[in-house]
């Protein structure tokens, strides 16, 4: 049996609020290179949801993950249109991501709000994979 990993996902407030209200049930991560969460997040993993420049505000469990590579504009539009109601991506955000070559779709379940708490994250990564048995407070 695969060991579960913990992750920290940093999100803009708009998208974070939609996840906490359970209106956005899929988190999309676009990139030009293979970087986390691509290939690093799996069903059963736990995600700590952190607001950009702010505290951890929620947690979620990964229900499923889809990985896509060698993307084109048309393939991105096809994927986003298929899941548009669950993704809730704004057009201006999508337009910025059209040159992406990789996409990770993370299907969320058991989303819960937590009392906000700060961590000492000092880098600019938008996704952090915590190492085996590493807790969120051990990392920073």
What pLDDT was estimated at residue 120?
A: 81
Provide the pLDDT for residue 140. 45
In a domain, 32, yes or no: yes
β-pairing, 102-117 with 56-69? antiparallel
* CATH code, domain with 127: 2.30.130.30
What pTM was estimated for this model as a whole?
0.92
Instruction: Please give the average per-residue pLDDT across 37-46, as a whole number.
Output: 97
Degrees to nearest 5, angle at CA 22 with 62 and 60: 30
Once rounded to an integer, what is the mean pLDDT over residues 40-44?
A: 97
Domain presence at residue 41: yes
Question: Has residue 1 been placed in a domain?
Answer: no
Q: Which residues, in sequence order, are bridge partners of residue 117?
A: 56
Number of separate domains in the chain: 1
Buried/exposed 107-123: b ≥16 CB within 10 Å, e otherwise: bbeebeeeeeeeeebee
Give the CA distances from residue 91 to residues 66, 94, 95, in Å, rounded to whole numbers and listed in that order. 21, 5, 6
The lowest-confidence range among 30-34, 72-76, 89-93, 101-105 is 89-93
pLDDT of residue 88: 97
Flag whether 111 is in a domain.
yes
109 has pLDDT over 50? yes
**Eight-class DSSP state of 23:** S
Structural domain boundaries, residue 46: 6-139
């Amino acid at each position: 049996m695969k060991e579960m990993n913990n992750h920290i996902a940093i999100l803009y407030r708009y998208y974070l609020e939609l996840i906490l209200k359970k209106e956005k049930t899929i988190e999309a991560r676009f990139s030009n290179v293979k970087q986390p969460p691509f290939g690093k997040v799996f069903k059963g993993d736990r995600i700590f949801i952190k607001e950009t420049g702010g505290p951890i505000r929620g947690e979620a469990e990964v229900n499923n993950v889809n990985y896509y590579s060698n993307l084109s504009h048309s393939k991105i539009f096809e994927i986003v249109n298929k899941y548009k109601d669950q993704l809730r991506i704004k057009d201006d955000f999508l337009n910025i991501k059209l040159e992406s070559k990789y996409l990770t779709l993370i299907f969320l379940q058991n989303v819960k709000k937590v009392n906000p708490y700060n961590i000492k994250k000092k880098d600019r990564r938008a996704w952090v994979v915590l190492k085996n048995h590493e807790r969120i407070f051990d990392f920073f």
